[in-house]
């Protein structure tokens, strides 16, 4: 658990000049503008260290009360991935055929998705992201976590950026409901499934939908 006493320590900050900072920010922007969600994954092996480093990067994210309410479960076992895919496709088929409103189906039509999810079994790795609404201390006492969804969302952003920087492709997938993930991966009761993220290299024939991002002036206001 997080220590309750406030114990300040010196902060070590890397000071850079404005020119260097601007160059870095432009390079990072250019890098992230090339990131796309991929659904066609190659079977090409991915060094495990790339996955470990990305998760370690996610673990540096800020979180409410520094409670770090996240768990990243890395799945490589083909049989487990097959079970996850089967369960996800069952839920997604119901979503597309019965549960979803026409408004929702119209909204995702430009993405070109359906209930078939081959990326779950094709990708060398599937990272299952769980959020922790609470935890137990060494005495078995239950402790509430704060700003859980916000904290895990920030960590996932770090994760995706790190994967992309390493030359990997990823897809954020959230089949609903997702309770099957807890059962298949045998997670404890204080963890709730949030995302499935297949990770690997894209195939040479991979395609992405033709999409555009909002102009800068539509997403930022300076006061």
Token readout for 5 is: 């006493």
Domains of the chain in start order, with CATH, are 54-204 (3.40.109.10)
Residue 154 DSSP label: H
d(C-alpha 72, C-alpha 203), whole Å = 25
pLDDT of residue 3: 58
pLDDT of residue 5: 85
Residue 138 DSSP label: T
Identify the segments of the chain with pLDDT beneath 70: 1-3
d(C-alpha 31, C-alpha 22), whole Å = 14
d(C-alpha 69, C-alpha 172), whole Å = 19
Task: Give exposure, 11-47, as e/b (b: 16+ Cβ within 10 Å).
Answer: eeeeeeeeeeeeeeeeeeeeeeeeebbbbbbbeeebe
pLDDT of residue 176: 86
Tell me which residue of 174, 155, 135, 152 sits closest to 37, measured CA to CA.
174
Structure-derived torsion over alpha carbons of residues 99, 102, 104, 107, reported in degrees to the nearest 10: 150
Token readout for 64 is: 């409410």
Phi, psi of 76 (to 5 degrees): -125, -20
Q: Decide: 76 and 124 in contact? Cβ < 8 Å.
A: yes
**In residues, how long is the chain?**
223
Residue 41 DSSP label: B
Write down the pTM of the prediction.
Answer: 0.94
pLDDT of residue 1: 46
d(C-alpha 96, C-alpha 200), whole Å = 26
């Amino acid at each position: 658990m997080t220590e309750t006493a406030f114990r300040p320590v010196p902060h070590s900050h890397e000071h850079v000049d404005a020119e260097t900072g601007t160059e870095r920010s432009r390079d990072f922007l250019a890098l992230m503008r090339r990131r796309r969600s991929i659904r066609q994954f190659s079977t090409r092996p991915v060094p495990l260290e790339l996955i470990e480093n990305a998760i370690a990067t996610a673990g540096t994210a800020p979180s409410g009360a520094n409670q770090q309410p996240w768990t990243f479960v890395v799945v490589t076992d083909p049989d487990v991935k097959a079970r996850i895919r089967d369960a996800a496709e069952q839920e997604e088929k119901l979503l597309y055929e019965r549960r979803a409103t026409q408004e929702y189906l119209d909204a995702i039509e430009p993405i070109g998705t359906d209930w078939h999810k081959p990326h779950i079994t094709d990708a060398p790795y599937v990272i299952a992201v769980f959020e922790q609404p609470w935890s137990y201390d060494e005495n078995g006492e239950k402790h509430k976590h704060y700003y859980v969804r916000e904290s895990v969302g920030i960590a996932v952003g770090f994760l995706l950026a790190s994967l992309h920087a390493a030359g990997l492709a990823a897809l954020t997938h959230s089949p609903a409901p997702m309770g099957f993930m807890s059962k298949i991966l045998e997670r404890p009761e204080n963890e709730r499934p949030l995302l499935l993220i297949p990770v690997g290299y894209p195939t040479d024939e991979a395609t992405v939908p033709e999409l555009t991002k909002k102009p800068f002036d539509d997403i930022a206001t300076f006061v």
